[in-house]
Amino acid sequence: MADRTVRITIGGLVQGVGFRYFVYREAQALGLTGYTQNLPTGQVEIVASGDRGLLDEFIKVARVGPRYASVSQLEVEEITPREPFTDFRIR
């Protein structure tokens, strides 16, 4: 069971620059579960579950993003998932 689940909303130049794929690879490397998706607002949403320390590391990486991204906003909200995640997916 995950220690923590967070919803991360990221704004800036984050769509069309490989942000979701970057997040997917980082989440896989850290053993996190959840998903990432583009939002109609131009933001990227990430819901991630895992160890608190690993999530903190993940948030630091997401704040920077991939090479061509420009993150201008990052909000983190701790949530209770409706059901446990079994893997990390791109939606």
Active site residues: 20, 38
Q: Which residues partner with 18 through β-bridges?
A: none
**How would you label 37-51 residue by residue, b for 16+ Cβ within 10 Å and e otherwise?**
ebeeeebbbbbbbbe
Which residues have a Cβ under 8 Å from the Cβ of 29 and sit 6 or more positions away?
A: none
Beta strands in 14-69 (DSSP E): 33-38, 44-50
> Contact, 69 vs 17, CB < 8 A?
yes
